[in-house]
Structure 1
Amino acid sequence: MEVIKELPEVFEEFAEQRKNSFLAVKELKDKGVPVIGSYCTYFPQEIAMAMGAASVSLCSTSDETIADAEKELPKNLCPLIKSSYGFAKTDKCPFFYFSDVVVGETTCDGKKKMYEYMAEFKDVFIMELPNTQREEALALWKNEIIRFKEYLEKKFDVTITEDDIRRAIKINNEGRRALKRLYEVMKNEPTPITGYDLFKVLYGSTFKFDRSQIPGEVNALVDKIEKEYAEGKMQPKKPRILITGCPLGGATEKVIKAVEENGGIVVTYENCSGAKAIDKEVDETNPDVYDALARRYLNIGCSVMTPNPNRLELLGRLIDEYKVDGVVEMTLQACHTYNVEAFGIRKFVNEQKKIPYINVETDYSQADIGQLGTRIAAFIEML
């Protein structure tokens, strides 16, 4: 068995995607292409795509601007919110700077208030996200999607047809299928690649402005991985870890490294940097495109939903399909919804799935890297 020692260049290309997109977003603006920035997996990307706009994720994952944010926001606020606001306020994020509109959503209280302040210096459109997934909530969310479409039409003086939306749905579904095919290579035992390499592609793909390029690039990568796996290139056997919890990326990649530098391998990600964003497709057979979009996006199992059975459904399925040995939940300090829900996740993992669980609470500083490593190493050793 040949163990991969060097990272294939292609993973580094995806890791560099965010930096490359900084240059690409300027080119788009120079060509007059509208740019729509968003902060959440609930954002119905297809509506922006249907009008020919580029959409980009604005969530910031570095502590670089937190001190700037704390001049206006409380210190005991979630680092994702402080970082996002800091990058916006200081103009240090090219994506935010070049966004014609920033789309917010009523997920957690901290974000809702942040958008109010942000609206003082940027065009912000707020989508009223229900905090439940009942049929009445679906009607509200469908209306919000239509309201967003009408806002874009008025602001950019365009017409967005249902056929435009159908085309965008098809493109995005193809991208989801390709990314799902990629993360499903981790069902193999031993795995063909590391969890960190997998993450770099999943995270990098969120910064692709032309979504139609994703299927070709990702499928070519999967073909290459499968070919090399058949030739005997694979990782050594290690305890198989699922990561769940708050969004991963940037500073919090330290959690992935802590797992993989201490004897484990991350075989799947339940959080919104992983399966949560890709698992479900939009129903292309539904004649009502707005209903199809509303159903697909509202069904995402985030901790802002009450109750939140869809998160447990996905988590349970991933644990079974990926033969997971242990679950690591990463919660950000002061992220109340995920921190409160961690108790229920622990019960579900321990009592229903009968496997070990650990919750690590962290922020965007690098001060706890040693402690993280120690705790996760002890957890993996126990497996």
Structure 2
Amino acid sequence: MELVKELPEIFEEFAEQRQRSFLVMKEVKDKGIPVVGAYCTYFPQEIAMAMGAVTVGLCSTSDETIPIAEKDLPKNLCPMVKASYGFAVSDKCPFFYFSDVVVGETTCDGKKKMYELMKEFKNVYIMELPNSQRADSLELWTKEIIRFKEYLEKTFNVEITEEKVRHAVHVSNQGRIALKKFYEVMKNDPAPMNGSQLFGVLYGSQFKFDKEKMPAEIDALREKLMKEYEEGEKPERKKRILLTGCPSSGAPMKVVKAIEEHGGNVVVYENCGGAKSVDRLIDEDAEDIYKAIAERYLAIGCSVMTPDNNRIELMGRLLEEYNIEGVVEMTLQACHTYNIEAKSIEKFVKSKGLPYIHVETDYSQADIGQLDTRIAAFLEMI
């Protein structure tokens, strides 16, 4: 990445990385490199990376294909599940089209049953994710990761050695460290950028297919950003918001825009694609590397876990470290686990003496006026 570029252009480059990656994906396939697609933060990408495959997040963030999905799926289903299926069944997601295998996981009921339908037209591999974080759950998840490794070896006629797995773990950890350092610049007050710019980099980095080069690009962006912040005029201070709940990429970014338009700034994302995705590293020196991978992924805090103590633990740290002044929880309609758990999050946040608001939305633009009104009132209260 050229450091001579102006910052807004660099942010734009990351934000548009997904679109540019469509063309790169075609080049990857032309070279005969396997592509493994996935939808979830629990996907243990290191196993696929150790095979030499490119891993990619699949399309699920727009309402464009929901009408297509509703021909097969209930209308009152989570919009993320409907969008995932709609992009897949209509062949409107280049990443899905080029994926040799799609890896699913038993998180929520909607996704589990969607994968069954998806299997009718795509090679889908399901990993049995435990819904608790007990010792016996870790044992099961470790076996699932080894089973996934053996599936890839058999399907692609390759050998995934422990040495290759450990190298993939190191590469992934370096990426997580770089992203964590990048979003930690938001601890500065006032923050050096707005939350939508921050998320553009976090989200765009998922579509940087050369995982070994990505950390240097993130570090270069962070250094340039902080140099301009320290030497230039400080940006206007805005109310410091933590966003939690369902994934916010794509259509749900309307919530972030509403926060920014009314004097707030999302200085940290606790949700998927944000802090929870890179907060923990894999122990590279562990004697059992597969168990170490399993430990790292199983420890992710998500509402599919019962109890979800790790989400609370992470949020508690973020509230303090980022000097948070208010918490916005964004959930998607019909996402039962997050909508029910919102009550526990509200109780926790208010126990810290902080204001909290829960907004439930979908992928349409129909509720933008209502969102604006509620979020404006919430920020006015802080």
Give the alignment's TM-score, normalised by structure 1: 0.97
**Percent of residue pairs bearing the same amino acid type:** 69
Q: Is the 8 A contact 2:59 2:96 kept in 1?
A: no
Deviation per CA, 1:134-176, whole angstroms, max 9, x where unpaired?
0000000000000000000000000000000000000010000
Maintained 8 Å contact 2:329/2:356: yes
Give deviations 1:247-303, integer Å, cap 9, x for gaps. Answer: 111111111101011100111000011001000000111021101100000000000
User: Counterpart of 2:3?
Assistant: none
Q: Deviations over 1:208-262 (max 9, x none)?
A: 1111121110000010011111103432111100000001111111111010111
Task: State the SS of the aligned residue for 1:201.
Answer: helix
SS of 1:251 mapped into structure 2: coil
Matched, 1:65 2:65: yes
Hey, what's the Cα distance between the residues in 2 that align with 1:113 and 1:133? 23
Does the CA-based 8 Å contact 1:192-1:233 persist in structure 2? Answer: no
- Alignment-derived partner of residue 29 in structure 1: 29
Give the whole-Å Cα distance in 1 for the aligned partners of 2:261 and 2:296: 36
Q: Distance in 2 between matches of 1:14 and 1:228?
A: 19
Q: Are the aligned partners of 2:259 and 2:376 in contact in 1 as well (CA < 8 Å)?
A: yes
1:371 aligns with 2:343: no
Shift of residue 189 of structure 1? 0.5
SS in 2 for 1:125: strand
Q: 1:197 to 1:210 in 2, by over 3 A?
A: same
Backbone CA RMSD of aligned residues: 0.8
Q: Tell me the distance in 2 between the aligned counterparts of 1:124 and 1:78.
A: 20
* Aligned mates of 1:185, 1:290 — CA distance in 2: 32
For residue 63 of structure 2, what is the amino acid of its counterpart? D
Equivalent position SS for 2:359: strand
CA positional deviation for 1:56 = 0.3
Shift of 1:184: 0.3
Q: What is the CA deviation profile of residues 3-56 of structure 1, one whole-angstrom value per residue up to 9, with x for unaligned ones?
A: xxx961100000010001111111100000000000100000000100100000
Could you tell me the TM-score, scaled by structure 2's length? 0.98
1:171-218 per-residue CA deviation (whole Å, 9 max, x = no partner) reads 010000000000000000011111111000000011111111211100
For the pair 1:354 / 2:349, whether they are aligned, the reply is no
Deviation at 1:59, TM superposition (A): 4.2
C-alpha displacement of 1:376: 0.5
Distance in 2 (CA, whole Å) between partners of 1:150 and 1:77 is 34
Q: Is the 8 A contact 1:270 1:315 kept in 2?
A: yes
Q: Could you say which residue in structure 2 is the equivalent of 1:3?
A: none
State the secondary structure of the residue aligned to 1:56.
strand
**Offset, 1:109:** 0.2
**Which residue in 2 is equivalent to 1:280?**
280
Report the Cα distance in structure 2 between the residues aligned to 1:179 and 1:210, rounded to whole angstroms.
15
Letter in 2 for 1:265: N
Letter in 1 for 2:381: M
Which aligned pairs between 1:96-111 and structure 2 lie closer than 5 A?
96-111=96-111
- Higher mean Cα deviation, 232-241 or 220-229? 232-241
Point out where structure 1 has 5 or more consecutive residues left out of the alignment.
1-5
Alignment of 1:1-383 (within 5 A): 8-351=8-351, 353-383=352-382
Matched position secondary structure for 2:304: coil
Q: Secondary structure at the match of 2:334?
A: coil
Q: Secondary structure at the match of 1:361?
A: strand
Q: Secondary structure at the match of 2:212?
A: helix
